[in-house]
Structure 1
Amino acid sequence: MKKTSIETYYELFYRWQRSGLSKAAFADREGISKVSFYSWCKKFETKTDSQDASTGFTRIELAESASQAAVAKISYPNGISVELFGSFDPDRIKALVS
């Protein structure tokens, strides 16, 4: 059986949060192991809660009419990823990551 990456599980976790489905229903719909999905959700929920409290960052949800495909993704070695949607200024992005 092929192992699923942390990035894939985080994407599933994020999609589940937006889906309005229970974890079990979402796992069934996606054809993934409920046990694994529950385990990863617990890790992400704990990590997200502690990061939000300590860094002051808040997740911003996109409007439903906004583009759903990211135009760029920045992945840091510590596992944090930043996805950019819509148009953006490359110079501004360089300033953010340097």
Structure 2
Amino acid sequence: MSAVAISSARDRLLDAIKREFMPLRFASEMLARASEKTPRAAQNWLAGKNAPDAEALINLMAACNSIADEVNALVAERKAARERQACPGSD
């Protein structure tokens, strides 16, 4: 997987989080509650400094359908890309 694809996935995830939570008055607090993390961690996600860890991401997916949809779309895109490629061990 290329670095461009990885950063793109990270950017798309952070964009989905921002779309869902930035309009809220207490965005970082609401995001922290949904992810079961600290408000400071949530502030870093909203600022694009860091991305959620796996546990926080699963909690966000369980709490927010839009974030779950974005992650599932990323997975579907990766699966489709791999289906077009031959498995390296199949030669």
TM-score (norm: length of structure 1): 0.29
More helix by share: 2
TM-score when scaled to structure 2?
Answer: 0.31
Higher relative contact order (CA 8 A, sep 6+): 2
